[in-house]
Structure 1
Amino acid sequence: MQIEKPLIINATESEKLKPILPKPVILSTPVTGWNGFYFAYHRQLNHKIPETCPSQHISAICIEGFQANMKINKQWQHKSYSPSDVAIFPADQISPAVEFEQELGFIILCLEPAFLHRAAYESVDADNIEIIQQLQTHDPLIQQIGLALKRELEISIVDSRLYAESAANMLGVHLLKRYSARKLNIREYTGGLPKHKLKEAIAYINENLEENLSLA
């Protein structure tokens, strides 16, 4: 008997997601040019997702409570999620198949592995970064990051890049600190920029206010 392989998914390839997320995305950031971060807000009817293997680190945030069946260790289990629950699916790790029993609104926050390496301030060997999968956890910070980004992007996507990248950087550091398989020594910076550097940065911002400035 042929064993089905997990479906490899890339959150930035919307056309290839249609078999598992048939309804079009309601709100999202551009798939390119946002420094390895992608946000999407969906509302999907009761649908099924097979076993998958994501290319990005994905944090999924519930908008409202829902019921689902999830295939864990080859056994289907019934699970109930509350509006404050989140799930974390690390890149290149197998995520279980899920059957949703109702229409569902949810936010996904996707970080490219390279983004997570940058979030560690270059103090961590890339080979030592391993995020632990969370099928259901209560994490108010991830929830608030997702909801804040949704509100910001609903106002304007055009000038929200700096806001989004700052939130994504916070998310990356949070994932590394709370959900890493190894204790990581993430460098902390204090004292801020020297005055002349801060002056240069402010001048650059003022001179480029009409541009969609990035955090970099």
Structure 2
Amino acid sequence: MQNLEPRLVQLERSDAWQQVLPLPPVMSSQQAGWKGIHFEYHRQPIHATPDYAFPVHIISIGLSYESTEFKANRRVYKQFWPGNVAINPAHESLSTEAYGNAEFMLMSLHPDLLALVTDRNLGVEQIELTPQVLGRDPLIYHMGLELKRELEFAGSDSQLYAESMATALATHLIRRYATRNAIIKEYSGGLSPYKLKTAIAYIQDNLDQSLSLGEIAAVVQMSPHYFAGLFKQSIGVAPYQYVTQCRIERAKQLLSRPELAIVEVCHRVGFQNQSHFTKVFREHTSVTPKAYRNSL
């Protein structure tokens, strides 16, 4: 008897796509160590896949197809447009056929994350998403492009940013694509003075490390998503934005010490990639680290 079960693709495996697609992704967040969200950028030739499924929610963003037609779940679609957003809920069977070269991005979220951003005590099995093959969603499209950009330029420096985007994407999916009403957690009052002081002290003491939202939240014994919302209320910016601001201010101080090479300053403020450090520093100060040092 033929096996009707779809092939389960585990994205955390390095050989995951060898099961269904001709080529591995051009870019993947796996090497960057992202938590909460997985991102991939693909360029695939003509192909047809077997039935497959994911244990996570998958959002596909089409960028270009050489052919104006493609097939999903054995149905032919002729209205493809760049920026098309497809939603494939966890464990839903999927098959695709591309009649020309295809360029697309994939984002995945674990179902647990969607449950964490809701206000009700809903189990993961109670939160279902409405699937779609063709659709427009400017916010998701923009998120995909920003994650691709962050992965390209920041690499392993992008973990904190990716965690924040994961929460934002989960919230958007609940609001727009959930099959039943689920109230999003609302945050009010901010962090207590003690918890805010503790979190800030931890950030300042560990600017040379690859900080994650989970690590900072654990210091004040809170869930990452609850902490992020209250922190933004207290400070006015998201945790990843605050950490970047602190790193730039620390970098300015260190650049005043001529005995420190710029690459050493880069590493002392938590950047693994000097070109990314230069880019972020210039975005915040309008000058490169070298130019800033020369101006002192």
Superposed pair shares fold, TM > 0.5:
yes
Partner of 2:135: 137
Larger helix proportion, structure 1 or 2? Answer: 2
**Structure that is richer in strand per residue:** 1
Contact 1:68 1:98 survives alignment (8 Å):
no
The answer on whether the counterparts of 2:117 and 2:185 sit within 8 Å (CA) in structure 1 is no
Q: Could you tell me how far apart the structure 1 residues matched to 2:41 and 2:32 are? A: 17
- Matched position secondary structure for 1:169: helix
C-alpha deviation, 1:16, in angstroms = 3.4
Shift, 1:79, TM fit: 2.8
Cα distance in 1 for residues equivalent to 2:75 and 2:123: 37
Aligned to 1:23: 23
Q: What is the CA–CA distance in structure 2 between the aligned matches of 1:5 and 1:126, rounded to whole Å?
A: 22
Identity %: 38
- Match of 1:18, SS state, is helix
The question of whether the paired residues in 1 share the 8 Å contact of 2:33 and 2:159 is answered with no
Deviations 1:122-171 (A, max 9, x none): 64332311111111110011111110011111112111000001001100
Who is 2:10 aligned against?
A: 10
| 1:70 counterpart = 2:71 | yes
Unaligned runs of 5+ in 1: none
Q: 2-side partners of 1:71 and 1:160: how far apart?
A: 33
- TM-score normalised by the chain length of structure 2: 0.66
Residues 22-42 of structure 1 show CA distances to partners (whole Å, capped at 9, x for unaligned) of 222221112795334211111
TM-score by length of 1: 0.88
Instruction: Give 2:269's aligned residue.
Output: none
Q: Which has the higher contact order (CA 8 A, sep 6+)?
A: 1
2: distance between equivalents of 1:52 and 1:212?
35
Aligned to 1:116: 114
Residue of structure 1 equivalent to 2:289: none
Q: SS at the partner of 1:211?
A: coil
Secondary structure, in 3 states, of the residue corresponding to 2:11? coil
Cα deviation for residue 70 of structure 1 reads 2.1
Higher-Rg member (1/2): 2
Contact 1:37/1:115 (<8 A) preserved: no
Partner of 1:128: 126
Note the aligned Cα RMSD (angstroms). Answer: 2.2
Determine helix, strand or coil for the equivalent of 1:106.
Answer: strand
Deviation for aligned residue 1:2: 3.0
Q: What residue is the counterpart of 1:88 in the other structure? A: 87
Which SS does the other structure have where 1:156 is aligned? Answer: helix
- The worse-fitting range, judged by mean Cα deviation, of 33-42 and 104-113 is 33-42
CA distance in 2, matches of 1:175, 1:53: 19
2:53 aligned residue:
53
Q: Could you tell me whether the CA contact under 8 Å between 2:32 and 2:159 is conserved in 1?
A: no
In the alignment, the residues of structure 1 paired with residue 121 and residue 185 of structure 2 have an alpha-carbon distance, to the nearest angstrom, of 6
- Give unmatched runs, 5+ long, in structure 2: 215-296
> 2:121 & 2:5 partners in 1: Cα distance?
35
* CA–CA distance in structure 2, aligned partners of residues 67 and 14 of structure 1: 31
